[in-house]
Amino acid sequence: MRYGIVADIHSNLAAFSAVLADMERRGGVTELWCLGDVVGYGPDPCQCIELLRQQPHIAVAGNHDWAAIGKVDTSWFNPDAAAAAHWTGRQLTPEDTHYLESLPLTVAKDSFTLVHGSPRDPIFEYLLSTSDGEENFAHFQTQFCCVGHSHVPLVFELDKAGNCSLTEFPAETAITLAGNRLIINPGGVGQPRNGDPHASYAIYDSEARTVTRYRVAYDISATQSRMMEQGLPRRLIARLSYGV
Ligand code: ZN
């Protein structure tokens, strides 16, 4: 089976659509695994929820999903993120709200645990350092874990001796799943932050035992125009051009 792993769609319909089309071009997937933050920042929250729900999928909640439905206090957010979260909340239909409310924090599927931030703190923790990664291996039971939240494609690897290493997750290079435990971030679909403005996602092939990351060009200016129309913060519009 092949699974599409997507994180941080962030209401960016052009990016999400391009990622789904890219998966199709590569032979399709049986199911999408969505690592949270379907909404927030971008201009098309309802359309992104609708498109996600049209796919066979499992999903977990992210901090922006909770912020949009008033489940976390946006005083923790920077002013631009808070403004976008409040705008997003006003766009959602009751059905969208109900869908976001229903998302679990953690799902175990196959040999993977899926969370947004980290296994230790699924909503808020950013996994960006080797020490934080290492500590988090004690907080999930499966061999592998997928996280989002930082929007940076990374792989944490814990070997049999208990040593943790952290590497970038390169694009178009298959990671082979063997004996070591891994925490994998596929990068962000709708607001990449690794200095590369392409949308980023991964495919897990359960027969080949590989996870491969792909980067996908999408119409960034279409998303930026939609954000301008909606009066979303300028800094959020500009950053999409740079992937920061
Ligand atoms: Zn995010």
d(CA 117, CA 45): 20
Mean per-residue pLDDT, 154-170? 96
Mean per-residue pLDDT, 118-131? 97
pLDDT at residue number 44: 97
| Per-residue tokens: 20 | 């789904």
The CATH number assigned to the domain holding 130 equals: 3.60.21.10
Flag whether 50 is in a domain: yes
Flag whether 72 is in a domain: yes
d(CA 41, CA 239): 11
Flag whether 244 is in a domain: no
pLDDT at residue number 76: 82
Q: Quick: pLDDT tens for 184-204.
A: 999 999 999 999 999 999 999
Mean pLDDT of the chain: 96
**β-strand 2-6 against 31-34: which pairing, if any?**
parallel
d(CA 3, CA 166): 23
Cα–ligand 1 centroid distance for 93 (angstroms) = 21
Answer whether 67's CB lies under 8 Å from 43's CB.
no
Cα–ligand 1 centroid distance for 212 (angstroms) = 21
Cα–ligand 1 centroid distance for 10 (angstroms) = 7
Flag whether 14 is in a domain: yes
- Into how many domains does the chain fold? 1
Mean per-residue pLDDT, 108-124? 96
Q: Quick: pLDDT tens for 45-72.
A: 999 999 999 999 999 999 999 999 999 9
Tell me the three state secondary structure of residue 175: strand
Flag whether 198 is in a domain: yes
Tell me the three state secondary structure of residue 142: coil
Cα–ligand 1 centroid distance for 106 (angstroms) = 16
Cα–ligand 1 centroid distance for 223 (angstroms) = 16
Taking CA atoms, 11 is separated from 142, 146, 178, in Å, by 30, 21, 35
Cα–ligand 1 centroid distance for 133 (angstroms) = 18
Flag whether 121 is in a domain: yes
Instruction: State the pLDDT confidence band at 98, using cuts at 50, 70 and 90.
Output: very high
Mean per-residue pLDDT, 16-21? 98
Cα–ligand 1 centroid distance for 150 (angstroms) = 7
Cα–ligand 1 centroid distance for 235 (angstroms) = 16
Domain that holds residue 105: 2-239
Flag whether 49 is in a domain: yes
Cα–ligand 1 centroid distance for 161 (angstroms) = 33
pLDDT at residue number 52: 98
Query: 11 pLDDT exceeds 90?
Result: yes
Query: 102 pLDDT exceeds 90?
Result: yes
Answer whether 56's CB lies under 8 Å from 83's CB.
no
Answer whether 48's CB lies under 8 Å from 99's CB.
no
Flag whether 29 is in a domain: yes
d(CA 113, CA 122): 11
Tell me the three state secondary structure of residue 9: coil
Cα–ligand 1 centroid distance for 38 (angstroms) = 8
Tell me the three state secondary structure of residue 41: coil
